[in-house]
Amino acid sequence: MTKALAGLKLLDVSRVLTGPYCTMVMADLGADVIKIEVPGRGDDSRQFGPFANGESGYYMTLNRNKRSLTLDLRRPEGQAVLKDLAVWADILVENFAAGTMDQWGLGYDHLAALNPRLVYVSITGFGQYGPYAGRFAFDAIAQATGGLMSITGQKGGPPTRVGTALGDINAGNFAAIGLLAALYQRERTGRGQHIDISMQDCIAAILENAVVRYTIDGVVPGRLGSAHATVGPYDVFPASDGYVFIACANEATWQRLCAAMGQPGLTADPRFAANRDRIGHIDELTALITSWSGGHSVADLLAILGDNDVPAAPVFTVEQVVNDPHIKARNMMVTVGHPVAGPVTIPGNPIKMSAAEDTIERPAPLLGQHTDEILAALGYSAAKIAALKEAQIV
């Protein structure tokens, strides 16, 4: 197999989600990722369900393609091993609370002294500096304090968390961009650097036009369900067996929707004549379309809307996504054989490259599965490895 990041060495000292997501993307692209786990217990996410033969599906999703080394970073002998690995590595990713790695003598300055080429990535809730730097955060707190929760949800309803841990995942992706940019810079300067990613910052960075709606117009953006503020109809509508998204971005599409609904006379209704009229009567319009859509199946609606050239799409459940022929054709659901769990289907790699493969090469590791081979490759003798095990350092 050919992979874009083949040869890149990544030391992953992160747990649960934001760091592991970043390093999963790197591993999928071919980096050799060594995941450091607490001896005896491992990443907390090994305890998160669902479980297949006792193995965590949550852990398996995020840690495929990685190798596992157990190592106690709280003890000097463990810190010494990490320093040897930091000399080996191109990149280190960590997501401990700000200051923790420094306390252990494993901060950026400590490790850059040993390996000036090291790119050192820290991902935390609020970053390494600024008034909230010490504060703890997890996904929902980043979604809440980054402003995204306030603009997600139904009109008149409460703020709503995005149904996936976007606070973590989004920061993991920005971290991936940052570390690859630092590698590009390193080709020119010969030196690594420290990258500081804050989950709150990363949510603020994706607020899109919501920021200028406030800073230019003084409007505090609210929640609109799935609807558009200024274009309508543009919303999710119920079918008899699911939901369909329908969008009319211009007058011609609206006229075709009226034809699709078998109500061509509607185009003459002054409440709905132009887009601004429709937005002014959006609740009546939504009720009208709902009374039509609810009487048809999703398949029927998509056929009718398609025949009339009205942009529409099914709202897929996760079951439908997993079984979607297009998603399958694009290798976006991958069944990985796991020595204990058996075959498990997990999401694939969405970066499709003409000169590199998008395969998932191996399942998530068992706890400490690669401890011996990794330490041996560092040049540790069998006696030294045995002593580290005896002392429960690894």
Tell me the catalytic residues. 168
Q: What binding mask, one character per residue, do residues 23-62 give for a second copy by CB under 8 A, x or -?
A: --x---x------------------xxxxx----xx-xx-
Single out the segment in contact with a second copy by CB under 8 A; choices: 64-72, 204-212, 270-278, 367-375: 204-212
Residue carrying the six token digits 């920005």:
174
What's the residue count for the chain? 394
Candidate list 11, 176, 305, 310; residue touching a second copy; CB under 8 A: 176
Where in 277-316 is the site for a second copy (CB under 8 A)? 311, 313-316
Closest contact distance (angstroms) between CB of 377 and a second copy is 21
Name beta bridge partners: 342: 338
The number of beta carbons lying within 10 Å of the beta carbon of residue 343 is: 10
Comparing CB distances to a second copy, the nearer of 264 and 295 is 295
Where in 138-157 is the site for a second copy (CB under 8 A)? 138, 140-141, 144-154, 157
Candidate list 84, 88, 107, 162; residue touching a second copy; CB under 8 A: 162
Instruction: Map 84-140 to HEC letters.
Output: HHHHHCCEEEECCCCCHHHHCCCCHHHHHHHCCCCEEEEEECCCCCCCCCCCCCCHH
Where in 211-230 is the site for a second copy (CB under 8 A)? 211-217, 219-221, 223-226, 230
Comparing CA positions, the residue from 83, 101, 82 lying closest to residue 35 is 82
Comparing CB distances to a second copy, the nearer of 80 and 181 is 181
Under the binding rule (CB under 8 A), the answer on residue 187 touching a second copy is yes
Cα separation, 30 vs 104, in Å, equals: 30
Under the binding rule (CB under 8 A), the answer on residue 204 touching a second copy is yes
Comparing CB distances to a second copy, the nearer of 180 and 289 is 180
Closest contact distance (angstroms) between CB of 216 and a second copy is 4
Under the binding rule (CB under 8 A), the answer on residue 252 touching a second copy is no
Q: Are 168 and 199 in contact (CB under 8 A)?
A: yes
Name beta bridge partners: 197: 123
- The contacts of residue 392 (CB under 8 Å, 6+ apart) are 39, 40, 72
Q: Is the peptide bond before 311 cis (omega within 30 degrees of 0)?
A: no
